[in-house]
């Protein structure tokens, strides 16, 4: 592969706190090394619609503390077609782009890998940006820490009112396929139960556990439910429990998209900076079709196809064991 001279950077899929620190690191690392940088708006949609602009060091001033992404993001169905990819390729070639840093999740990486395989003269490095923390090859993904802290802050406030009114709250958090946010937030907030997509929980067992809490004179209870939990919708779940437990006044709170927003935490600012810096250096070193990740506090390169083929991402076994032990 020829030497990289101009890098395009984009964010795609769901936004995640920490994307802006990553963009900043990509731009400034590239310029420091004598490369040009092009910002691509709205992910792959910007490649197809030719919505791109030259970026300089001042283009990324004062964005470390901003949530979301200054480059915007979108899901782009036309990019899945050969025609869409060809249009995207012609547009970035016209701009002189020969390397891409793509920040996003598994859908973003699937598109990036297919694009780079189809057009191998465009080097591609992926940065894991998803609050779900469910990508193989990185212990933590951009946005996970901030989203978890946002959930913790919300549940701490819910606990105050639950305790005041002798209430049982069911709180739904994001995580269609991953219970990472639910698990860590639940332990941090002392949840009485945590329902996860990775672990089946029988309704009868949940009811017995909550009844024991009432017997032990707990003044409030919090049940955290990941949106992908297999017991069904949170409202139906709360109704089923209400029919069996009369001690508590039961309420439901769905935290929704507030989990995606907010200023990135210190951890996500540093992580975004490290991964953006590493992504550019990987391109300079001639790497392609790789994801930069963080494992054991060291940067690691994982082939994109490997990162996408591992769907057995496991939650920490000790945390799963702690849930029941610490909630008595």
Inter-residue contact 150 to 258 (CB < 8 Å): yes
Catalytic residue, from 15, 132, 145, 229: name it: 132
CB 267 within 8 A of CB 16: no
* Joined tokens for residue 185: 């937030």
Residues 6 or more apart whose Cβ sits within 8 Å of residue 64: 20, 21, 24, 264, 269
Coil/strand/helix, residue 89:
helix
Torsion sign (Cα): 78, 82, 85, 90: negative
Query: What is the C-alpha separation between 228 and 233, in angstroms, rounded?
Result: 9
H-state helical runs in the chain: 19-32, 44-48, 82-94, 106-118, 144-165, 180-189, 203-215, 234-242, 266-284, 304-309, 317-326
The reply to whether 205 belongs to the active site is no
- Per the listing, tokens 């016209």 go with 94
Residues involved in catalysis: 132
């Amino acid at each position: 592969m020829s030497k990289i001279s101009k890098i395009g950077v984009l964010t795609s899929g769901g936004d995640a706190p920490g994307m802006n620190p990553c963009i900043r690191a990509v731009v400034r690392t590239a310029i420091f090394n004598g490369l040009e940088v092009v910002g691509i708006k709205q992910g792959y949609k910007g490649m197809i619609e030719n919505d791109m602009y030259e970026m300089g060091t001042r283009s990324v001033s004062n964005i470390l503390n901003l949530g979301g992404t200054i480059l915007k993001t979108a899901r782009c169905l036309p990019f899945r077609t050969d025609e869409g990819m060809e249009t995207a390729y012609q547009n970035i070639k016209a701009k002189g782009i020969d390397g891409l840093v793509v920040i996003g999740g598994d859908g973003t990486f699937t598109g990036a890998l297919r694009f780079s395989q189809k057009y191998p003269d465009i080097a591609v490095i992926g940065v894991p940006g998803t609050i779900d923390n469910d990508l193989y090859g990185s212990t933590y993904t951009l946005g996970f820490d901030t989203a978890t802290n946002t959930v913790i802050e919300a549940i701490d406030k819910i606990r105050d009112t639950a305790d005041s009114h002798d209430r049982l709250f069911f709180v739904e958090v994001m995580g269609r396929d991953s219970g990472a946010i639910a698990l860590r937030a639940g332990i941090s907030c002392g949840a009485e139960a945590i329902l996860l997509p990775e672990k089946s929980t029988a309704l009868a067992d949940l009811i017995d556990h909550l009844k024991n809490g009432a017997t032990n004179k707990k003044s409030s209870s919090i049940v955290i439910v990941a949106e992908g939990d297999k017991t069904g919708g949170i409202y139906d779940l709360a109704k089923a429990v209400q029919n069996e437990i009369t001690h508590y006044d039961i309420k439901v709170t769905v935290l929704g998209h507030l989990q995606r927003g907010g200023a990135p935490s210190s951890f996500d600012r540093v992580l975004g900076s490290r991964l953006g810096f590493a992504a550019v250096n990987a391109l300079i070193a001639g790497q392609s079709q790789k994801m930069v990740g963080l494992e054991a506090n060291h940067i690691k390169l994982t082939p994109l196809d490997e990162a996408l083929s591992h769907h057995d991402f496991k939650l920490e076994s000790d945390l799963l064991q702690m849930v029941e032990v610490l909630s008595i």
